[in-house]
Amino acid sequence: MSSSVSVAAEWDLLSDRFYRRITIYSPLPWSSPATTTASSSGGGSSGVGRLDLSTHIVAAAPFGGPIAAVRDDSKIVQLHSEPSRRRLLLFSSSGHPLASSPWTPHLPRLHSLAFSSSLNLLALLSDGSLLRFRLPDLNPITSSSPVPLLPPASGGVADAVFWGGGVAILTEDNRVVVTTDIEVDDPHPRELADPGVAEDEQVLCMAVVEPQFVMSGSPEVLLAVGDRVVAVDEDGVQVLGEALEIGPVQKMAVSPNGKLLAAFAHDGRLLVIPTDFSRIIFEYECDSALPPDQIAWCGLDSVLLYWSEVLLMVGPNGDPVQYNYDEPVMLIPECDGVRILTNSSMEFLHRVPDSTTLIFGIGSMSPAALLYDARDHYDKQSAKAYDNYQLISSSLPEAIEACIDAAGYEFDVSRQHTLLRAATYGLAFCSRFPHGRFQEMCKILRVLNAVRDPEIGMPLTVKQYKLLTATVLIGRLINANQHLLALRISEYLNLNPEVVIMHWACEKITASAAIPDVVLLEGLLDKLRLCKGISYAAVAAHADNSGRRKLAAMLVDHESQSSKQIPLLLSIDEQDKALQKSIDSGDTDLVYLVLFHIWQKISVEKSAPLDFFGVINARPLARDLFIAYARHSKHEALKDFFLSTGRLQDAGFLLLKESRELERNPMASKGSPLHGPQVRLVEQAHRLFAETKEHLFESKSAEEHAKLLRVQHQLEVSTKQAIFVGSSVSDTIKTCIVMGNERAAVKVKSEFKVPDKRWYWLKSCALATVGNWDALETFSREKRPPGGYKPFVEACIDAGQKTEALKYIPKLTDPGERSEAYARLNMTEEAKKAASEANNGDELFGRLKSTLAQNTLIDTLRDRLSFQGTY
């Protein structure tokens, strides 16, 4: 096991746990003079040169994110070959320059830099205003002027703490202002409760418990004031841990899970306390009473303290580990360790994972260590390999698991290799081990190795990667303009490449201002075709926003989803095309969308609605939908439309509708002399119908309608009863007869040329209604009724007058009708007799029988079952 010894030799023991420092990138390009000159001579990136942590304000994003720096002008600096104007510099974690932009002069002093969780660069100025920059090109977000976060006259920034989603600022006059929506265009800073710092007191240091760890969901700010620590939130101030008698705290850091606080007290003690200050978990007395420059948690188990040239790692037990640095250091806390950035290297300090300890621990005889050893023997073709296997055969799965797991923690590719090979050796003997686990780790490692490459410079660990998720990683890659890698990773992981291609296309458009539309379109389409169902409309919208309307129009043609395509066509003023596409889509809602858009535009531009009518009249669906909508709320516009497009009959019907509405409205009809307005509308309609030959019938009917309204009005005047208007011609006649006004009835009959047949029906019915049987009989004798005596028979039967009915039944000429009439009076014998006279007698007879029989049948059935009420 000699090979393993060297691995563990690099570890440091902190009480019972091992820690190790892995050098990820060294030397960093910015530290080597050769690269410096190379890059500074390379066109756009002039000024990207040496980065000295001691002379710069630096920010580094967690999860292996980029590093930003601006020269600290509060320090005296010797400029080597650098320009004297300050620049904002952006590097990858591997020290490769990504971008730089000149720092706007005459701004207030820069207080601090930080990255938000979606990797925007934030720069807090000493007056409490905030500048935000988008990566990767460092373009300012929303505007180039800073956004003020502090209320006026607060004295500027005394201290500030950033976290992924916000910033807490302590002002010079000891107030606390918190901003949690730092990514939105227009952030809303909130002032917390007054921490109550007395005139002669000083805030020594501050820390923030991030909102996700606080019950209330808003951040809690811890301030060390005098010899107490106060917790400030929106609702109030709470003094913490008075009973613990900690004394003045010089430096604080909250653990990654938000539960613990590392506090460096004035007497040189490092204390670890829960954030509620209920007790002291442990304390360690440092040699120096001077507060450390930096304090950071390394995972959840140890705390790092950094004084110039000395980095001290303190654990819950035992002696601390000391590392010496002869150059300035920046601690970048990660979820599973701390990255240590120096002028020349990027290191990662973390606890040695259990699986790694099992394999490489000195003297480890764990199954995993034996398996690792077995593979070594196997490669040397030594029979000992099999001996090892036999030793561990029972615990093979856990040994394999440990090898796979340990491989994941390695940054060194060849060591990943050896560990995975060890795992495969075990796998060969162990079919029950889930092979998917092995493949999954291989996949993860391939992705991690790809992004760890110095060219990309994202030194993620397995744990960070899992926390970050592949989707976010891809998002970060495309934001760093690493589209090809992002695309390959999405394909490799079977993720939808849409987001990558879309972003690429948009970036391509932004970057290709000089390329002609047609050429650019071809290039874009080539790639967009790779992804089925991609939204061309979104890319087109970007093209439009970049001032390339023609390109947008060409792109939007390729969009297959009408619901996305049409709004865009409207926004680029392609109304006709939008209208046509919406009609083709068959989705009436989209047609309406376009219609309203055009309609609104016309009313804004005050152009004649005729244009609109012309546009829609050529398209039946659009036209009909407009009509349907206008019927509900735009009568006048609809009338205009009908008249201007020659649909006079439709305008006529619209007038009739209005006239009916007048009728329904009692204020307009009753009491008004002549029902003038209503009649006028009907007459107007009549004239419109008369304009076309096809609507002669409607024209005549409207004319008659107007006449009827007049006649009815006269009747109402003469009878002093408002019961006529609104009824039909037939009903008017009936009403007259019922009122005994025969003359008026005859007048209406002749005026409206009511056929005799109808007259007989109406009059017999009316007379029967009032029970005037004598008059009915007289009427029957006037002359031979044109349609026979059926009206008389039915009027009597309907009124239940058997005797009266019998006067007329024999006069019915058709025996079938006679038979039916008798049947209705339940005169079975007479009905049968009449039926036998008819030529279709048998059929009639049969029907009679079944009608009569069925009722009795069901009735008896119901009685026999007698379960009433149950259903």
Site residues (CB under 8 A) for another protein, limited to 814-853: 820, 823-824, 843, 847, 850-851
Closest CA relative to residue 42, chosen from 84, 94, 78, 96: 96
Pick the binder of another protein from 646, 787, 800, 810 (CB under 8 A): 787
Name the strand (E) or helix (H) holding 447. helix 435-452
Residue with smaller CB distance to another protein, 292 or 791 = 791
Contact by Cβ (8 Å): 755, 767? no
By the rule CB under 8 A, 657 interacts with another protein: yes
Among 34, 526, 697, 829, binds another protein (CB under 8 A): 697
Give the residue, chosen from 653, 789, 792, 808, that forms a contact with another protein under the rule CB under 8 A. 653
869 binds another protein (CB under 8 A): yes
N-terminal to C-terminal alpha carbon distance within the chain: 88
| Three-state DSSP state, 298 | strand
Give dist(CA 178, CA 222) in Å, integer: 12
Q: Pick from 701, 666, 659, 661: which is nearest to 681 by CA?
A: 659
The verdict on 215 binding another protein (CB under 8 A) reads no
CB-nearer residue toward another protein: 589 or 691: 589
Provide the b/e sequence for 708-719 (b: ≥16 CB within 10 Å). Answer: bbebbbebbeee
Q: By CB under 8 A, tell whether 861 contacts another protein.
A: yes
Report the nearest approach of another protein to the CB of residue 766 (Å): 11
Give whichever of 344 and 701 is closer to another protein, judged by the CB atom: 701
Considering only residues 746-785, where is the footprint of another protein by CB under 8 A? Answer: 752, 754-755, 757-758, 761-762, 765
Interface residue with another protein, options 92, 342, 562, 712 (CB under 8 A)? 562
Both tokens of residue 190?
A: 């909130």
Provide the token pair at 151. 């209320």
Structural tokens at position 508: 């391509």
Are 493 and 439 in contact, with CB atoms under 8 Å apart?
no
Backbone dihedral region for residue 313 (phi beyond 0: left; psi -120 to 50: alpha; all else: beta): beta
CB closer to another protein, 676 vs 787 = 787
206, two tokens: 């501050």
Between CA 600 and CA 594 the distance in angstroms is: 10
Four-residue CA torsion sign, 577, 580, 585, 591: positive
Residue 596 is a binding residue for another protein (CB under 8 A) = yes
Q: CB 631 → another protein: shortest distance, Å?
A: 8
Residues 130-159 that bind another protein (CB under 8 A): none
Q: Does 692 bind another protein (CB under 8 A)?
A: no
Asked if 855 is part of the footprint of another protein (rule: CB under 8 A), the reply reads: yes
The stretch near another protein (CB under 8 A) out of 128-136, 222-230, 306-314, 787-795 is 787-795
Comparing CB distances to another protein, the nearer of 385 and 702 is 702
How far is the C-alpha of 698 from the C-alpha of 690, rounded, in Å? Answer: 8
- DSSP assignment of 33-92 equals HHHHHHHHHSGGGTT-----GGGEEEEE-TTT--EEEEE-TTS----SSS-SS-EEEEE-
How many of the chain's residues bind another protein (CB under 8 A)?
A: 73
Contact 224, 252 (CB under 8 A): yes
Q: For residue 290, give both structure tokens.
A: 């001077």
Whichever of 377 and 564 has its CB closer to another protein, that residue is: 564
Q: Per CB under 8 A, does 862 bind another protein?
A: yes
Contact flag: residue 588 with another protein (CB under 8 A): yes
Interaction residues for another protein, span 600-639 (CB under 8 A): 620-621, 623-625, 627-629, 632-633
Window contacting another protein (CB under 8 A); options: 28-36, 44-52, 319-327, 861-869: 861-869
Residue 729: CB minimum distance to another protein, A: 4
- Footprint (CB under 8 A) of another protein, residues 103-122: none
What is the smallest separation between the CB atom of 848 and another protein, expressed in angstroms?
A: 9
Q: Contact between 789 and another protein (CB under 8 A)? A: no
| The binder of another protein chosen from 494, 803, 839, 868 (CB under 8 A) | 868
**Torsion angle of C-alpha atoms 73, 77, 82, 86, degrees rounded to 10:** 0
Window contacting another protein (CB under 8 A); options: 174-182, 335-343, 395-403, 655-663? 655-663
Beta-strand pair 139-140/129-134: antiparallel
The CB-of-678 to another protein minimum distance in angstroms stands at: 12
User: Is residue 646 at the binding interface for another protein, with CB under 8 A as the rule?
Assistant: no
Least Å from the CB of residue 700 to another protein: 8
Spatial contact of 114 and 166, defined as CB atoms under 8 Å apart: no
The region of 192-200, 387-395, 555-563, 671-679 touching another protein under the rule CB under 8 A is 555-563
User: For residues 717-746, which are near another protein according to CB under 8 A?
Assistant: 726-731
Stretch that binds another protein, among 219-227, 229-237, 374-382, 558-566 (CB under 8 A): 558-566
State the residue for tokens 């240091």.
205
Applying CB under 8 A, does 708 fall inside the site for another protein?
A: yes
In degrees and rounded to multiples of 5, residue 169 shows phi and psi of -120, 130
Q: What is the closest distance, in whole angstroms, from the C-beta atom of residue 600 to another protein in the complex?
A: 10
Helix axes 790-799, 756-770, angle to 10 degrees: 20
* Helices 729-738 & 696-719 angle (0-180, nearest 10): 20
Kindly tell me which of 740 and 755 has the beta carbon lying closer to another protein: 755
Helices vs strands, H then E, count in the chain? 34, 30
Binding segment for another protein (CB under 8 A), chosen from 402-410, 640-648, 703-711, 805-813, is 703-711
Stretch that binds another protein, among 189-197, 268-276, 482-490, 700-708 (CB under 8 A): 700-708
Please, which of residues 493-552 interact with another protein by CB under 8 A?
A: 533
**How many Cβ atoms from other residues are within 10 Å of residue 560's Cβ?**
12
